[in-house]
Structure 1
Amino acid sequence: MGEVAEKADELGRKADQSDWIDHAVRAGLVAYGVVHLIVAWLAAQLALGDKSESASNAGALHSLAEQPMGAFLVWLVAIGMLLLVAWRLLEFATGYRDESDDKKKWRKRAGSLGKAVIYGALAWSAIKTAAGDGSSGGTDSTTAKLMGLPGGQLIVGAVALGVIAYGISLIIRGWTEKFTEHLDAQGQSGKDGSTYVLFGKIGYIAKGIAIMIVGGLFAYAAITHKAKKSGGLDQALQTVLEQPFGVPMLLAIALGIACYGLFCFARARHLDR
């Protein structure tokens, strides 16, 4: 058993260091960036009064599917997301070997697994959309099912705390510019590097704020036991729009999400895993 584990670890190390992983990650990041740019566009349209599409990942995929060769493009997004899933699962299984602190290493591996789940959900949504079975609907039915389970309110509350914590982590990552560890030296230097860092900083903070609002909706649903009060990104942005100065705030978030999408392109070009 020891030899098998050693061999598996060695194969994982070789796979993690191979060039094809870099190519796969770059392709996935470009697809991820495209989705964020479309979400940003839909959010801006929502702020300007157009509610014909959902300003969410699912809505972005629907919007992309309606373009010429749309189904083909959505399939490309699905493939890109699956490549990111494979990368994160590889990180979870064999990554962070150089980390001396075991707790920190497993925390990072858990983070990779969580990201694999996020990319996997987007991949599944893209596959359903490309196959003509997608939906741009919200998450209230899922929340209702969770509410119906024993301890359902606690489960939804735990989901809310997890989502809020993730949003806070993105804001901290953006504010401290910790995301620059994903860019090589060239991607951090000169005027281009300064622009990439600015895109990343604005993008991470804006995305973190939007995700925190999503978590807040889940928390409110858990407290009030009303599943329809929960929601995904689309409902979170709609909530922003309903506040005083909602239009400029929503436009600012849309700009931030677009910056995140542009940072994904920069990261793909100057990848440093």
Structure 2
Amino acid sequence: MRTRTSVRGRAGRTADGPAVRAAARWGLVAYGVVYLLIGALALQVASGDRGRQADSGGALRELARQPFGQALVWAAGAGLAGLALWRLSEALLGAARPDGHRPKERLRSAARAAVLAVLAASAIAVAAGSGDGGSSDEQSRDLTSRLLDLPAGRWLVGALGLAVVGVGVWSVVRALRHEFRREVGPVPPRLRRTVDVLGVAGGVSRGLVFAVAGAFAVSAAVRYDPDEARGLDDSLRALAGTPAGPWLLAAVAVGLVLYGVFLFALARWHRG
């Protein structure tokens, strides 16, 4: 028992070493910038500018247009790659949090690492001039089409869609229950409420978009039509088609901006 405990302790320290922590903080800042830009682009869509692409590809292209844009995208790609490696180390070795060695937490870290690795690769491709970040809508439809062509593909797409809906709902519940506090270390008392507001508003908005995207995937499975699938951009635009209209899209867009700011706070006061 003592040996197992010491091994776990060493693993936790390895997953949260100084170099890994530095890379994680850099990556969290880069991830925050991406969410800030997605939220800002979604706000422009809500205000009537339909030419904007409110997803990671659009955010990376917007970043590339800024002064020293190529260098900024390279920095973002490197940071996101570092963050992906950090999440992977948590999946393999366990996080430094008290519950970081639980299978559920390891699986969550592995899923995060996969998403971040794809985003990092996209950023590096944009920086290198070999890609434009792509459209999340086209990528979703292409992936759905390939999956539907597989044996039992309809069931697979449906199951994945339900899983994404579940992730979205879980993200909302987790935000409302303030579970993000597990990853946030000591925050100055005067800023605790602000960080809580950022975590709740950002987590709820992010979860809502995931749930909408998952629902579209389920619809694609039911109708056996890959064109029913939606990425982040079309999922956000779908919110403007609800009875609440563009106001709902604007509210969610603000929430995504706040989630980006929350990631900055997490980079500053991450537990570990």
Between stretches 213-222 and 17-26, larger displacement belongs to: 17-26
The residue that corresponds to 2:40 in the other structure is 41
The residue that corresponds to 2:153 in the other structure is 152
TM-superposed deviation, 1:72:
1.3
1:62-211, aligned counterparts within 5 Å? 62-96=61-95, 105-132=102-129, 133-137=131-135, 138=137, 139-185=140-186, 187=187, 189-211=188-210
Name the CA shift for 1:95/1:31 in 2 (closer, same or farther; >3 Å): same
TM-superposed deviation, 1:10:
8.1
**Alignment check: 8 A CA contact 1:53 1:63 kept:** no
CA distance in 2, matches of 1:127, 1:263: 24
**Alignment check: 8 A CA contact 2:16 2:96 kept:** no
Name the CA shift for 1:97/1:249 in 2 (closer, same or farther; >3 Å): closer
TM-superposed deviation, 1:135:
4.0
Equivalent pairs: percent with the same residue?
A: 32
CA distance in 2, matches of 1:243, 1:99: 42
Q: Give the TM-score, by structure 2 length.
A: 0.91
Secondary structure (helix, strand or coil) at the match of 1:68 reads coil
TM-superposed deviation, 1:34:
0.3
CA distance in 2, matches of 1:93, 1:136: 30
Stretches of structure 2 lacking an aligned partner (at least 5 in a row): 1-6
**Alignment check: 8 A CA contact 2:97 2:183 kept:** no
Name the CA shift for 1:99/1:270 in 2 (closer, same or farther; >3 Å): closer
**Alignment check: 8 A CA contact 2:56 2:133 kept:** no
TM-superposed deviation, 1:42:
0.4
CA distance in 2, matches of 1:100, 1:180: 13
**Alignment check: 8 A CA contact 1:39 1:59 kept:** yes
CA distance in 2, matches of 1:113, 1:70: 30
Stretches of structure 1 lacking an aligned partner (at least 5 in a row): 1-7
TM-superposed deviation, 1:64:
1.1
Show structure 1 runs of 4+ deviating over 4 A: 8-14, 96-101
The residue that corresponds to 1:3 in the other structure is none
Aligned residue type for 2:169: I
**Alignment check: 8 A CA contact 1:62 1:136 kept:** no
The residue that corresponds to 1:25 in the other structure is 24
The residue that corresponds to 1:261 in the other structure is 260
**Alignment check: 8 A CA contact 2:35 2:256 kept:** yes
TM-superposed deviation, 1:12:
4.3
Name the CA shift for 1:11/1:174 in 2 (closer, same or farther; >3 Å): closer
Q: How many residues align?
A: 266
TM-superposed deviation, 1:179:
0.4
Aligned residue type for 1:109: R
Aligned residue type for 1:81: L
Between stretches 104-113 and 33-42, larger displacement belongs to: 104-113
Aligned residue type for 2:183: H
**Alignment check: 8 A CA contact 2:239 2:249 kept:** yes
The residue that corresponds to 1:5 in the other structure is none
TM-superposed deviation, 1:100:
8.3
